[in-house]
Amino acid sequence: MILTAVVLLGLTGLLLGLVLAFSDRWLAVAIDSRVSEVRAALPGTNCGACGFPGCDGAASAVVEGNAPVSVCVAGGQSAADAVAAIMGVAAVAVGKKVAKVFCQGGGGRARLKYRYAGIEDCRAALQVAGGPKACTYACVGLGDCTRVCPSTAIVMATEGLPAIDPVKCTGCGLCVAECPKQVIRLVADEKRYHILCSSHDKGPAVKRVCSVGCIACTLCVKNCPSRAIAIDNFLAVTDYGKCAHAGVCRQKCPTGTIVHEIRPGEPPDAASKPEGPTA
């Protein structure tokens, strides 16, 4: 009786093994070798900025024709060129974008409602009377963005605001998604003039809470030679596609809201000092 059971069990195991061997050999799904090649050409940050589940998902999407060769934001031009070569298609130009903090309300420039001493987390701070800063649009300054940056491009500066290294920044956009005040945005890497304010309050209200906030005086709008600036709900905004880097906007801005970003090796601003308000 026991011998019969053992034989039956052995035969069952043998049959199942044959079935599994058959399934593995004849029912296996062929994997395109280009998937692994494309995956190897990507930086491996798995940031998700491409809209797919990590670099593996992006590689599969490219090979399946569901994503362009320039799908990898973090990899930039070099990754796009490598993937294009693997896929046997023409390379495409990829314009790099970098994250920029559209707020200067740190280092005593933005008035505080109270001193926050809780959890070092922006969203946690906002649960306490809407955050410590009197400007409801200002950067909270507790570094949530630094913790999600996969390229260590963001650090907290001494004035209590995040500082973003444009060379390290890959433009993945994770910091943009993480910021509860939406003061971080992606801009074209080659642009250097920025209106660093996010407040939509009227001028007098802005002046009460921040010394470098936009007061919508319209001087930048009136003096921009390329008509790249407009007022949107009491805030000056730049159409980067039109901006010609004339620098007049920065000269005319009476509050220092408009800045010229100068990187190593680049020439200084032709107008090194603001002229002050001009009609």
CA–CA gap between residue 93 and residue 78 (Å, rounded): 10
SS3 at position 237: strand
CA–CA gap between residue 139 and residue 197 (Å, rounded): 10
Residue with more model confidence, 45 or 59: 59
CA–CA gap between residue 241 and residue 42 (Å, rounded): 29
Per-residue confidence (pLDDT) for residue 16, from 0 to 100: 66
- Report the CATH fold assignment for 100-189: Alpha-Beta Plaits (3.30.70)
Q: Which two tokens stand for residue 41?
A: 């050409």
SS3 at position 259: strand
Q: Write the pLDDT tens digit of every residue in 253-276.
A: 999 999 999 888 777 765 444 444
> Nearest-CA neighbor of 258 among 245, 268, 266?
245
Q: Write the pLDDT tens digit of every residue in 168-212.
A: 999 999 999 999 999 999 999 999 999 999 999 999 999 999 999
Judged against a pLDDT cut of 60, whether residue 233 lies above it is answered with yes
Judged against a pLDDT cut of 80, whether residue 220 lies above it is answered with yes
Contact 176, 184 (CB under 8 A): yes
Concatenate the DSSP letters of all residues of 136-147 into one string: TTS---S-HHHH
- Report the CATH fold assignment for 34-87: 3-methyladenine DNA Glycosylase II; Chain A, domain 3 (1.10.15)
Per-residue confidence (pLDDT) for residue 249, from 0 to 100: 96
Q: Considering only the top CATH level, what class is 190-279?
A: alpha beta
Per-residue confidence (pLDDT) for residue 76, from 0 to 100: 84
pTM (predicted TM-score):
0.79
Cα 28 to Cα 15, 16, 35, distances in angstroms? 19, 17, 17
- Average pLDDT of span 73-81: 86
Strand ranges for 131-260 from DSSP E: 154-156, 162-164, 184-188, 193-195, 229-231, 236-238, 258-260
Residue 163's DSSP bridge partners are 155
Strand ranges for the chain from DSSP E: 97-101, 154-156, 162-164, 184-188, 193-195, 229-231, 236-238, 258-260
Per-residue confidence (pLDDT) for residue 124, from 0 to 100: 96
Per-residue confidence (pLDDT) for residue 43, from 0 to 100: 86
* Exposed/middle/buried for residue 117 (C-beta within 10 Å: 0-12, 13-18, 19+): exposed
CA–CA gap between residue 71 and residue 79 (Å, rounded): 9
SS3 at position 278: coil
11-15, 18-22, 38-42, 143-147: which has the highest mean pLDDT?
Answer: 143-147
3-state class percentages of the chain: helix first, strand second, coil last, to nearest 5:
30, 10, 55
Instruction: Provide the percentage of residues in the chain whose pLDDT is more than 90.
Output: 62
Task: Name the residue ranges covered by the structural domains of the chain.
Answer: 34-87, 100-189, 190-279
Name the least confident of 29-33, 109-113, 154-158, 259-263: 29-33
Per-residue confidence (pLDDT) for residue 13, from 0 to 100: 63
Average pLDDT, the chain: 87
CA–CA gap between residue 124 and residue 122 (Å, rounded): 5
Domains 34-87 and 190-279 share a fold: no
Q: Write the pLDDT tens digit of every residue in 139-150.
A: 999 999 999 999
